[in-house]
Amino acid sequence: MEPEVLVEHDDGLVIVTINRPQQRNAVNRAVSYGVCEAIDELDRRDDLRIGILTGAGGNFCAGMDLKAFLRGEITRVEGRGILGIAMTPPRKPLIAAVEGYALAGGFEAVLACDLVVAASNAQFGLPEVKRGLAAAAGGLLRLPRLLPPRIAMEIGLTGDMIGAERLHQFGMINALTEPGGALDAARALARRILANAPMSVAATKRVMVEQIDWPLSEMWSRQQQITGPILASADAREGAAAFAEKRPAVWTNS
């Protein structure tokens, strides 16, 4: 029997695949903890620099496995939420590669990612209100920050699905692909990021994620604390030298 979470390492890239295609990749306890461990490994290891989260069999994730829920199974990671990323996203960049359905906790996992590549026919939604539940794994918190407030409210209150093309128009999806092409496009996007200096990428993500809560009076000093070491690094000198010498940079992460 195949594992319910597949993990592939590819030259600095980690591809994490939810592997329950017969259940549209619905999340049970094993899936939540399996994805969480793979993403934690991404953050722990210096040789791993970026992750892709996707689903097997033509769907991303249909959310919590309701049958597991009815059995009393805890489908989230304690203190961290669904897949372990709802409340604690990784420090390193994470791309969602979406085919088919990304619903409920599956959509909330997409919202916890930094970038999104989706097939043009992919469908997203927070149907919790149709099941007597609430989208408490980040959907109600993140969606109004990523979409116009009234569109976010419509998605939350109706529980209806919304297509990838419409979300792309609102800027929530980075790139649309033909059906079946999301993972390849996500790999290509990841390679563009992998070409850059690791310390610079990490600092850039940290500032962009954390600044939303910074007081105006402190934002420049807080940014300096994070970006100052970057400007003084060996990689900063290497980047300038590589540009001047018209050659690819060789990063040492120092």
Query: Measuring CA to CA, which residue among 43, 53, 109 is closest to residue 80?
Result: 109
pLDDT tens, per residue, the chain with 254 residues:
789 999 999 999 999 999 999 999 999 999 999 999 999 999 999 999 999 999 999 999 999 998 888 888 888 899 999 999 999 999 999 999 999 999 999 999 999 999 999 999 999 999 999 999 999 999 999 999 999 999 999 999 999 999 999 999 999 999 999 999 999 999 999 999 999 999 999 999 999 999 999 999 999 999 999 999 999 999 999 999 999 999 999 999 99
Give the integer Cα–Cα distance in Å for 156 and 126: 6
Tokens standing for 179? 């059906």
> Do residues 76 and 86 lie in contact, with contact meaning Cβ atoms separated by under 8 Å?
yes
Report the pLDDT value the prediction gives residue 152, as an integer from 0 to 100.
98
Tokens standing for 121? 């026919």
- CATH number of the domain located at residue range(s) 5-194 in this protein: 3.90.226.10
The catalytic position among 128, 154, 210, 238 is: 128
Domain map (residue ranges) of the chain: 5-194, 198-245
- pTM comes to 0.95
The catalytic position among 4, 37, 78, 108 is: 108
Report the pLDDT value the prediction gives residue 227, as an integer from 0 to 100.
96
Give the integer Cα–Cα distance in Å for 152 and 38: 30
Query: Measuring CA to CA, which residue among 150, 146, 106, 100 is closest to residue 128?
Result: 106
Decide if 108 is catalytic: yes
The DSSP code for 209 is H
Q: CA quadruple 192, 35, 226, 138: dihedral positive or negative?
A: positive
Q: Provide CB contacts within 8 A for 247, sequence distance 6+.
A: none
CA 132 to centroid of chain Cα atoms:
27
Decide if 4 is catalytic: no
Report the pLDDT value the prediction gives residue 74, as an integer from 0 to 100.
85
